[in-house]
Structure 1
Amino acid sequence: MILAAGLGTRLLPLTKKIPKPLLPIIDKTLLQIAIETACKANPNIIVINASYLSGKITEFLGAHDFGVEIKVSVEPDILGTAGGIKAVEKWLSKDDFGVINSDIIATVDWDALKKIHKNSNATATLMLRDNPDPAIYGPLCLNEKGRVIRIVNTKNRDLSGAEPLLMFTGVSMLSPAIFERIPAGRAVEISSEIYSPMVKAGEPLYGYVTQAEWTDAGTMENYHKAVMARFATCKTSIGMTAKSLKYVTIRPPVHIDTGVYIRAGSTIGPNVAIHEGSVIGASVILKNCVVTPRSNVRSGAFLDGEVI
């Protein structure tokens, strides 16, 4: 399951007209990256929940073939990270299933995650990593057997005795037994309302610790970092004709969609992504920037390290 029903408030104003899962990371959307990550687990079905601007998400999925059956669960009212899972019980109740947030970019060893989940007979196994900032990411602690023994309260973060500090990556493996714990018909958050009570009750909640590649693209700063990081593996791609770029200087790597207009005298790059429908004024200098779809940059602007 891919969780994609959030409002994307941390990415405003980008998400006023574009749902967060459809924000571009150069040549792919966040949702596309999440689906490709999920497909590496060889699933027989992928379920995606959607709420805010859900029509755009269903339209995107209808225009792409990912080689696997995809179901969409539309939530008129957002049901939360656990409530959204409960709502798709009819599709996922027969076997263990993976869950991934749509706003992360991660390398996931699904086989390792499945193995720990099976061997520990866990209800839930969370993919964890070292916690770079406990003030932002709620810390978790494991015992020597890999069981989660503490989830630090997000409102009162008393970190005493909480070493080593780990964080949840937004990737997990769940057993069908999880559905019994989630009340139906209302919004439910999985960490505070499901996992924390499980820890207190000594129920089988386990962790799989990895230091594999992981990026949270859910904030403006992290979204920019995610795009810049992807330039390391993406070749320059320009959807404009050479004639239309006659008086424009390009400094690779860049990504320029079709349907972009750049006026004369502008310098684009390095590390600049300009997406469809955008207009770049005359004598503009852009470096290390992301220009999201249908944006305008005024003539004479000099921008470095910005999301527009």
Structure 2
Amino acid sequence: MSADAQTPAEPRPKAEAVVLVGGRGVRLRPLTLSAPKPMLPTAGVPFLAHLLSRIRALGVEHVVLGTSYKAEVFEEHFGDGADLGLHIEYVVESEPLDTAGAIRNVADRLSADDVLVFNGDILSGVDLGELLDTHRETSADVTLHLVKVDDPRRFGCVPTDGDGRVTDFLEKTDDPPVDQINAGCYVFRREVIERIPSGRPVSVERETFPGLLAEGARVQGYIDASYWLDMGTPAAFVRGSADLVQGHAPSAALPGPTGKALVLPGAIVAEDAVIDGGSTVGARCEIGSRAQVSGSVLFEDVTVEPGAIVERCVVGTGARIGSGAVLRDAVIGDGAVIGTGCELVEGIRIWPGVELPPNGVRFSAD
């Protein structure tokens, strides 16, 4: 080997991953009445598939899903994870345990020294390799992914010192001293997980992290400016799906090339229909002549009749949008029927199976 030859980098020591997917997704109702939030179709696949693809790309093979609401749906879809090159295990909470409690609940399935933990409703482009390296290089007990946001009051505010070490953890304060927030992705030393109290609800934000700081543990911050989005609201869900389709958010699970739209196999789209803005058109959907679908997510078997306009909406499985209807920023439940000429705007949600008559009346969230 020549003197200037590159020595191959040594592989990282093994790590494992925990994904918390037990929430009920109340903010996304009625979509989550039939499926857990991480299993909602997002850019053509369940949202969780995008996260799992990034975990596997890091070289992590063992993933534990902490489930609760409609727990069986996860295993029915992903099985043992072999199709993804993963070994997936499932641990069901019999009662809500909050974030740290849910992490502690899966501790007996873990064996690696370092454990990546993810909130299952965050879409992120963070470099997971650099996050893990930072954790190891600083010998941290816990490392938190931190991002800067315009309005940190809705999140956990996390000040750090010049070395990136976390100095405080302020959960949803009205007067945040910095714009850095907890981004819902962590690396734990497994020993720290094992010290979390078991059998009761425990919050990482209100108990675990402040407790570690109080005892002088090394809580490290990893701050970056990568893509980050909390997918908990309908508007954020629509935006995240569109960002995946357009390539603004990274994923190896996208079932097609990035571009202005993703039309899944079996969908029928009229030649003069317009599909753009990162829209996803699900399998067996039918989009009629002169219809416009922009920045929206259409689940399977949706019918959009001629001349209808659908902008920034989520439309559930089997729903029908009547000809000439106008939908903006709306959520349409599975099997709902929107009559000809209806106008639905400003965040209205239509529950599954509801049928709106073709009377052209304007419906809004107000």
Give TM-score, length-normalised by structure 1: 0.88
Match of 2:284 in 1: 259
Alignment of 1:24-63 (within 5 A): 24-62=41-79
Match of 2:320 in 1: 296
Task: Return closer, same or farther for 1:113/1:255 CA change in 2, 3 Å cut-off.
Answer: closer
Task: Return closer, same or farther for 1:239/1:209 CA change in 2, 3 Å cut-off.
Answer: same
Residue of structure 2 aligned with 1:166, choices 180, 183, 198: 180
Match of 1:104 in 2: 122
Match of 2:21 in 1: 4
Contact 1:37–1:107 under 8 Å retained in 2: no
Contact 1:3–1:48 under 8 Å retained in 2: yes
Deviations 1:38-71 (A, max 9, x none): 1122113011111101111211112961111111
- CA shift at 1:170, angstroms? 1.0
Contact 2:80–2:86 under 8 Å retained in 1: no
Match of 2:263 in 1: 237
Cα root mean square deviation, aligned: 2.3
- CA shift at 1:146, angstroms? 1.5
Alignment of 1:141-180 (within 5 A): 141-154=159-172, 157-159=174-176, 162=177, 164-180=178-194
Q: Which structure carries more relative contact order (alpha carbon 8 Å, separation 6+)?
A: 1
- CA shift at 1:231, angstroms? 3.2
Deviations 1:94-131 (A, max 9, x none): 31111111111111322221222112221100011113
Give TM-score, length-normalised by structure 2: 0.75
Residue of structure 1 aligned with 2:91, choices 54, 69, 73: 73
Match of 1:115 in 2: 133
- CA shift at 1:158, angstroms? 4.3
Deviations 1:246-287 (A, max 9, x none): 58624446432223244x545033434321132334542223
Match of 2:208 in 1: 194
Task: Return closer, same or farther for 1:189/1:272 CA change in 2, 3 Å cut-off.
Answer: same
Contact 1:259–1:278 under 8 Å retained in 2: yes
Deviates more, 1:42-51 or 1:114-123: 114-123
Structure 2: where are the runs of 5+ without partners? 1-17, 248-257, 333-366
Match of 2:304 in 1: 280
Instruction: Return the index of the structure with the highest Cα Rg.
Output: 2
Determine what percentage of the aligned residue pairs are the same residue. 27
Letter in structure 2 aligned against 1:197: G
Deviates more, 1:247-256 or 1:116-125: 247-256
Structure 1: where are the runs of 5+ without partners? none
Match of 2:340 in 1: none
Task: Return closer, same or farther for 1:272/1:224 CA change in 2, 3 Å cut-off.
Answer: closer
Residues paired across the two proteins, number: 301
